[in-house]
Amino acid sequence: MTDTAKLRIGTRGSPLALAQAHEVRDKLAKAHPELAEDGAIAITVITTTGDKILDRALSEIGGKGLFTKEIDDALMGGEIDLAVHSMKDVPTVLPDGMILPTILPREDVRDAFISLKYKSFAEMPAGSVIGSASLRRQAMILNKYPNLKVVTFRGNVQTRLRKLGEEQVDATLLAMAGLNRLGQPEIATAPIAEDDMLPAVAQGAIGITIREEDQQTKDWLAALHCEKSAIRVAAERAALKALDGSCRTPIAALAEFNDDGSMRLRVSIVRPDGSERLDTERLIAKPDMASAAAAGTDAGEELKQRGGPDFISA
């Protein structure tokens, strides 16, 4: 089937990645009759380093592109024509010859609090244990609730729910976007307000990479693009790039449109032990890709400077 396909989609094999790839396939088939025929779109599952190593925090494995490298290689090698990614996992610098022309409409950006015993962090007694593999989430929790404990905790949704049931931890966190896309929003005990925990850069956004010269795929994808989501993601990713942190620097950012068409960008960095947090924000009067990226760069550079080399360990 793959050799007769008009378009080959590459994706990781996790349930969330597959749901995202199927969403892209279905939208393309709906927008373009020639892609709606049986077998016109093939989906190729590619295992990445991040999928293979499940016993360590991602920050310990180190390196950028843990969830993208093998997929990038398949794309540039011509084995697939487009790759569907959670933008949260995509490094700010793309390989030569690759472009990211499409951002889908963004999902819920918030983190979800998940516990069988408590309704929120505020209810948790001192010493309660929260499992998370994300340094940002760990650091944000310790910053706001220094009496809670965090432990590194990886695995898919099912594994985490089992560990919660076994009382290995008292609570865990997941992105609302992932739960929604899996059709399981009820797994969340409650979404956490952005003010209480600023999300990761590009959380809830899906992006599609292609080969720069592949005009056919670019044309097909145009129907799926959401410019407002792309502008928000551009602001947040520019901040991330300017901060140039290692994978050990907890960074959070969120750009949101106001009702008057302006955009508010918030960026935070936190020490891994939660002992210090630096915040900044920008208001962008007329947001487009260029002004959003410029504001993001500016905000990121400000925090980098204020934090100094000791905060942003490279």
Ligand X SMILES: NCc1[nH]cc(CCC(=O)O)c1CC(=O)O
Catalytic residues: 89
Cβ distance to ligand X smaller for residue 88 or 211: 88
DSSP 205-228: -EEEEEETT-HHHHHHHGGG--HH
Cβ 192 to ligand X shortest distance, Å: 12
Asked if 299 and 285 touch (Cβ cutoff 8 Å), the reply is no
Cβ 150 to ligand X shortest distance, Å: 15
Cβ 93 to ligand X shortest distance, Å: 18
Kind of pairing, strands 82-86 and 111-114? unpaired
Cβ 106 to ligand X shortest distance, Å: 8
What distance in Å separates the CA atoms of residue 180 and residue 162, rounded to the nearest whole number? 20
SS3 state at 172: strand
Q: Shortest CA distance to 201 belongs to which of 157, 249, 156? A: 249
Q: Which residues are registered as beta bridge partners of 114?
A: 172
**DSSP for residue 121:** G
Asked if 87 and 202 touch (Cβ cutoff 8 Å), the reply is yes
Instruction: List contacts with ligand X (CB under 6 A).
Output: 67, 86, 88-89, 174-175, 177-178, 203-204
Write down how long the chain is.
314
What number of CA atoms fall less than 13 Å from residue 278's CA on the CB side? 18
